[in-house]
Structure 1
Amino acid sequence: MNFEPVLENKRVLLQPLQASHLDALWKIASDASLWAIQLYTIDSKEDLEKYIQIALTDRATGVSIPFVIIDKQDNRIVGSTRYMGLSLPNKRTEIGATWIAPSLHGSGLNKAMKYAMLRYAFEELELNRVEFKTDELNTQSRNAILSLGCTQEGIFRRHMITSTGRIRNTVYFSMLREEWPEAKQRVFGKYDF
């Protein structure tokens, strides 16, 4: 299997994450507002370097496919995302660890990116399930996931401890392979990706 695919549509380009992306990503990751309701925080360039190295190690072991997000309108790196928890024998993955420059929140970039990733997961990898998880407190993320056509499955109470020590409840969502054609048409059909 190709663990370094390139995904693209008219709005977004997802390229395999590399260690050389550190400086471009630090310009975005240094905005503390990105980490306000996250499981972890990136407080320094060294933190980001460790974050990238973990993602690259996960790719090498076949459990993650990390990307940098490039906004094609400006032709610049604007964040990162990945397939994670990849289980090919069970034909499932999670789309997560997504962070995008705050100036692009609500711009349609995230929807274009998720379209590219869902399409690849269901139509190329032929997975049966794509999962999404977010902090119960992150209403922006919860609403964005629901707007993709995903189903909320439940809340794992007292599920994780964040880097700040807060005990997090995690909301689980999914989309199934048989739900993709309808979501592709209903949710994404109105966009020109």
Structure 2
Amino acid sequence: MCATPLLEGTRIRLEPLTLDHLTGLEAIAFDDRIWRYMPITMKTPDDLHNWVESALRLTEAGTTIAWATVLKSENRVIGSTRFSDLDRTHETAELGHTWLSPEFHGAGLNTEAKLLQLTYAFEELKLRRVALKTHHENVQSQKAMRKIGAVAEGRFRNHFIMPDGSQRHSLWFSVIREDWPQTKSRLEARVGDLTPPSV
């Protein structure tokens, strides 16, 4: 089992996810825009409680590292993210289950989270590969992955049945150890461009 670290950025921090974050998550989690491209839906506090408890069970099993995303200036929970399918033998993981309150979409906070997570993945955990995947219609997510230097690897056809019954194909991307120096430079530049001078 890998203990979940606190990851500190300029505008956000990633705190190890606990049940104590439920109140903060409940204030933002039931906006349908968050879950539009995800194969789950979040409608009730019970849905959210079960989602957090599942993450904590997987963390205990050693296959997941889950965080709550906190806006430092307000000390407010604004989302969540995690590594899943963590494989210490083959030194791989998937970065996903990432969501933010829609009021922070486009604010660059997800970019900062990616920098924190990937730095931890490649420089602390010494992983060889971090995968990312997204809905075939989520063009914004695909563009964001390409911007950081993630390499498109292909499509899992008929990967998920969405809550509304539609079919999702998943587009896969990855960052590997050899990519990391360039990817880190891109992320640091983007985070620097988005950070207010007063911070």
TM interval, shorter chain, is over 0.9
Rounded to whole Å, the distance in 2 between the matches of 1:112 and 1:187 is 7
CA deviation after TM superposition for structure 1 residue 186, in Å = 3.3
- Match of 1:191, SS? helix
Q: 1:21 corresponds to which residue?
A: 21
Q: Name whichever of 172-181 and 24-33 sits farther off.
A: 24-33
Match of 1:73 in 2: 73
C-alpha separation in 1, matches of 2:12 and 2:35: 23
2:189 paired residue number: 189
Deviations 1:13-37 (A, max 9, x none): 0011001211110111111221122
In 2, Cα distance between equivalents of 1:72 and 1:145: 25
Change (3 A) 1:122 1:188: same
Please give the TM-score of this superposition, normalised by the length of structure 2. Answer: 0.92
**Secondary structure, aligned partner of 1:175:** strand
Q: Which residue of 2 aligns with 1:131?
A: 131
Alpha carbon RMSD of aligned pairs, Å? 1.3
Paired residue secondary structure (2:69): strand
Q: How is 1:131-150 mapped onto 2 (pairs within 5 angstroms)? A: 131-150=131-150
Separation in 1 of the partners of 2:189 and 2:132? 21
Deviations 1:113-159 (A, max 9, x none): 00000000000100000000111011121112112210110011111
Segment of structure 1 superposing worse, 142-151 or 106-115: 142-151
Q: TM-score, normalised by structure 1?
A: 0.95
- Kept in 2, the 8 Å contact 1:84–1:94? The answer is yes
Provide the residue aligned with 1:82 in structure 2: 82
- The CA deviation at 1:44 is 0.6
Which ranges of structure 1 fall in alignment gaps of 5 or more residues? none
Q: What is the identity, as a one-letter code, of the residue corresponding to 1:41?
A: T
The residue matched to 1:189 in structure 2 has which SS?
A: helix
List alignment gaps of at least 5 residues for structure 2. none
Match of 1:5 in 2: 5
